Structure 1
Amino acid sequence: MRRTALLLPALSVALVALSPAPAQEPRGALAGAIASPLRSPANVARDRYRHPAETLAFFGVKPTDTVVEIWPGSGWYSEILAPMLREKGRYIAAGPLPRTAEMVTKLQARDATAFGKVQVVAFPAAAGTAGVPDGVADKVLTFRNVHNWRFGGTDQAQAAFNAMFRMLKPGGLLGVVEHRLPEARDAAAEEKSGYMKESSVIAFATKAGFKLAGKSNVNANPKDTADWPQGVWTLPPTYRLGDTDRAKYAAIGESDRMTLRFVKPK
């Protein structure tokens, strides 16, 4: 896989040049969700690193979509997506249980109207556990999670991409944001640094059946050299080194990130 993956960047550049951005509905719903007072101030403060308006526009998210977010974590994007999709669309939070359910419960306690329709399912879904049905999603999104599937001694990344492929409708879109490891680095760093090579992510998606449909540098950070003593967690918001060189890492900001758009062929 590594030898094949090295050929992918040149191909992907050609695809990006030929592939237009998805058709957009008026951006009022997205802009309103991002500007909503329902969002926590701490999350809003990170918009300058995560660029939610540009990222979700690049992924073509519309208020009428069924959107599955894989491993939503503490709900950073849930605060935006759930209210945006509440009236005309559908938001499904798919992640480890009970953590994902607890996150959604906290959002619902904050505002039952905005977050009351969120659906929670397990991902990955064990036997006998409800997961995302095949072919229901217009968009599947995952933010900074591929490296997590590379940990723990058993590589679950390919299984995750295969599952995301199944849950999408034909023509549906997968959006991936991930910490970026320079292509020249040893691929072994993917298993411990929190960074992934762009070619590796593309290879997982391609093997699952996806076609690369676009790249964006909206979440790029050229200050991040991806060689920190505690991996990506050296940088904000984690600051794993505590006060050691904190000002230095704060000046760098959050990680350099790839932003990739894939399509499930019709």
Structure 2
Amino acid sequence: MKIDWSTLLLQTINVLVLVWLLGRFLFRPVAGIIADRRAQAMSMLHDAEAARLAAQKEQAAITDERAELAAHRADAMAQASDDASKQRAALVAAAKEEAVRLREQAAAEIGQERQAHDEAVSVRAVHLAVDIAHKLLERVPDALRVMPFVDGLADGVRKLSPAARDDMSEGAALQLIVPRALTGDEQAACEAALASVLGRPVPLCTRIEPALIAGLELAGTHAVVRNSWRDQLEQVRSGLQGDDGHT
């Protein structure tokens, strides 16, 4: 086989030129394009990774925000439940206090009404007892309505203070209150008893008051001495009412 070196040289040169041309006009632009595309792809991948990280971060923030909102909602629900429980307990306590107050008020009113009723019954009983005694004493004979009370009247004058007794002995005529008209003996007995106590004869002006029932009362300028059944019945009435808590 005979080798044509000139042809081989030309072919070699052609190959080299072709390779140079391909490297200059094909491989370098393609490599640049590939490099650009790779750079763009890397930039897109970087942007995608950044977007993915931002999305993850945003998703985490949303998750945290949701968790925080859920926690706030749970706290608000718990606070509302606690407030409702407290309000319910306060309303129940207030209702119980109001019920106790109303019960105590009702009991007090019932007690007052019962006390007022008992007092009214007691007063009526006292008045009835005194009225019965008054009617019974009215049956006493006239002879016993004056004389048995003369000494008691004199003793009452004797028990006055010295100033009151002197005022009676030195004053004007004394008023002798009697249940009926006096007989001469009864008049004389009264004058003698009072003169003995006061140390001098005293003029007496009599006034008849049947309400005395029996007894005598002596009225001076500044003092009154009572010794009558009317006065004693009033004392009994006052004493019974005082014992029952009345004034």
Give the structure-2-normalised TM-score.
0.20
Higher percent of residues as strand: 1
- Between structure 1 and structure 2, the one with the greater Rg is 2
Higher percent of residues as helix: 2
